[in-house]
Amino acid sequence: MSLLPSKSRLAHIVFESDDRASKTFDLSVLLLILGSLAVVILDYEPSLNKKYHYEFYVLEWIFTGLFTLEYLLRIWLSKRKLGYFFSFYGMVDLLAIIPTYLSLFLINTQFLVVIRALRLLRVVRIFKLSRYLREAETLKTALRNSRTKIQLFVGTVLTIVLITGTLMFVIEGPESGYTSIGVSMYWAIVTLTTVGYGDITPITPLGKFLSSVIMLLGYAIIAVPTGIVSSELTAVQGTIQSSGKKVCPTCKSRHLDDDANYCKYCGEAL
């Protein structure tokens, strides 16, 4: 049927996302991934599993069939088939369909299909030319700039956790639930991050006093990473503003004119 798109047109639809057909394709894949994730989550819900197990089973095979088709299509359309196969996305696409086939031979491997969540990463491509990548770029630059500060911070936190964990293990002991240094360190992390499950809590007055100090410390030092990221984000945006010039988010060229809509160095939309 000449109504079928040509192979090069199909490749455009599958690999690009700059016109209607290709955007529709990407959006359909996005919805299929979300739908398939919803089915797995609901299928593991004991009450729903009893009632609708058969429906979920059928749906899951429909999703897997469609993803298998898409996978074969991608291999067929790819110019460097082995390159795609061994690429990160190629492996993710394969891992996203294998668990369902595995579940024919093995019991209880169905939960592995949550790997499909990783496929969502690719879908960001739909918004390729949009503001998403630019913002992600700003975030990434700010996080990259604050990397060493955050490493120092994590090191400090882990040292505090080790020392307070050991102290609490000695002070409270196994009777209060602090059965080992490892468990005490778990408690210290639960406390320092202000999660505070309450599955292990200090009982002795000295333990309560030390806990209070750790909590106030945790309360104070939570300010540090937030401050780091805030100031980096302010700095990254400040660079853009204080230079009085636009900065290209893709190639980082500065000195663009204020009224430019595209970077004059790399042509990316600003």
Residues 58-117 interacting with its own copies (rule: CB under 8 A): 111, 114, 117
225, 245, 268, 270: residue in contact with its own copies (rule CB under 8 A): 225
**Helix, strand or coil, per DSSP, at residue 256:** strand
46, 50, 54, 80: residue in contact with its own copies (rule CB under 8 A): 46
24, 27, 28, 45: residue in contact with its own copies (rule CB under 8 A): 45
Residue number with CB closer to its own copies (87 or 234): 234
Distances 155 to 104, 146, 171, 183, 206 between C-alpha atoms, Å: 46, 14, 24, 19, 26
193, 206, 251, 267: residue in contact with its own copies (rule CB under 8 A): 193
Kindly state the smallest distance separating residue 41's Cβ from its own copies, in Å: 5
Ramachandran area for residue 94 (φ above 0: left; ψ -120 to 50: alpha; else beta): alpha
- The residues pairing with 262 across neighbouring beta strands, listed in sequence order, are 269
Kindly state the smallest distance separating residue 259's Cβ from its own copies, in Å: 15
Q: Which two tokens mark 182?
A: 């490892």
Radius of gyration of the chain (CA): 26
Residue 234 near its own copies by CB under 8 A: yes
Residue 37 near its own copies by CB under 8 A: yes
Q: DSSP letter for 111, please.
A: G
136, 206, 260, 269: residue in contact with its own copies (rule CB under 8 A): 136
Residue ranges in the chain assigned as alpha helix (H): 7-15, 20-43, 46-77, 81-86, 88-95, 98-102, 120-123, 131-145, 147-172, 181-192, 205-221, 223-242
Which region, judged by CB under 8 A, interacts with its own copies, from 14-22, 89-97, 127-135, 250-258? Answer: 127-135
Residue number with CB closer to its own copies (67 or 169): 169
Residues in contact with its own copies, total (CB under 8 A)? 82
81, 131, 255, 264: residue in contact with its own copies (rule CB under 8 A): 131
CB atoms within 10 A of CB 85: 15
